[in-house]
Copies of this chain bind each other. A is one copy, B any other.
Amino acid sequence: MSRFSFNQVTAKPWGLPDLVAGCVEAGVDQVALWREPVAEYGLDRSAALVRDAGLSVTTLCRSGFFQAPDWFDDNRRAIDEAATLGTSVLVLVSGGLPAGSKDLAGARRHVADAVAALVPHAAAAGVTLAIEPLHPMYAADRCVISTWDQAMTIAEQHPVGRVGVTVDTYHLWWDDTVLDKIARAGERIAIYQLADWITPLPAGVLTGRGLPGDGCVDMSAFHRAVDKAGYTGPIEVEVMNEELWQRPGRDVLAATLAAYRGVV
């Protein structure tokens, strides 16, 4: 269990102090945090809470959304928040098309430029920008970076350690070329996240993910590819699921741990 990290969104309604206590009680020593609940509890308070509990923060989820008018300042704040929380990985979700735009290629070029613009600040803070390719079904409204190749092409314009890529099984599993590419990605893998693909998809397609093992993703194949790349970092379970969110946080953590043990 030494590589397991509990991603906060998996038990979204769980308050931060309870989540921290629950993790300690369960012997979980790594968590991934999200910006909104951290801001709600207070950044410095959150940092102190996890630090005092002996937890390490594997990633801060998430920044990006480069079509927003204040993307530059907001992403710089996110980098600072990551540093304050003691994590070196900030997950970037690029955002979708600007309203009314059909210029997908242009939006993708803008992401590359935006990442480049953020690298100096990230470097100064000791934070790796982890570009996350999201499933192509989010290309319009959530993330124009849809494939491993697109994320890697941007990352490779920068030094290893400054810009990396997020491997999320949910977003990448459909791609027949991705496992070989992940296996060759070496230190570009900034973080490895597990969620499973279950159908039917719910309206809005955001909250119907499954715990690892509950869907049709071949998790073993992903583990082998990530291993081959030499990745030895944390493995986050990050599942957005309305049914999980109805359950008490402690039960969700237990179910997540059981699912993780079933596939790792």
Interface residues of A (CB under 8 A from B): 97, 101-105, 108, 135-137, 139-141, 146-147, 150, 173-176, 197, 199-205, 215-218
Contact = CB atoms under 8 A, between A and B. Distances in A.
Nearest to A142: B199
A146 B105 CA distance: 20
Most chain B CB within 10 A, of A102, A108, A150, is at: A102
Contact of A141 (B104, B141, B150, B199): B199
Nearest to A100: B216
B137 A137 contact: yes
A197 B199 CA distance: 20
Contact of A137 (B135, B147, B176): B135
B136 A105 contact: no
A137 B174 CA distance: 8
A139 B102 contact: no
A93 to B, nearest CB: 15
A150 B216 CA distance: 20
Contacts of A215: 140
28 contacts: A97-B216, A101-B216, A102-B216, A102-B217, A102-B218, A103-B218, A104-B173, A105-B176, A108-B176, A135-B136, A135-B137, A136-B136, A136-B174, A137-B137, A137-B205, A139-B173, A140-B197, A140-B215, A140-B216, A141-B199, A146-B176, A147-B175, A200-B204, A201-B201, A201-B203, A201-B205, A202-B203, A205-B205
Nearest to A204: B200
A162 to B, nearest CB: 23
A215 B139 CA distance: 12
Contact of A201 (B175, B204, B216): B204
B218 A104 contact: yes
A37 B135 CA distance: 34
A205 to B, nearest CB: 5
A97 B102 CA distance: 32
Given A101-B216, A104-B173, 20 more contacts: A97-B216, A104-B216, A135-B137, A136-B175, A137-B137, A137-B201, A137-B205, A139-B173, A139-B197, A140-B199, A140-B216, A141-B199, A146-B174, A146-B175, A146-B176, A147-B175, A200-B204, A201-B203, A202-B203, A205-B205
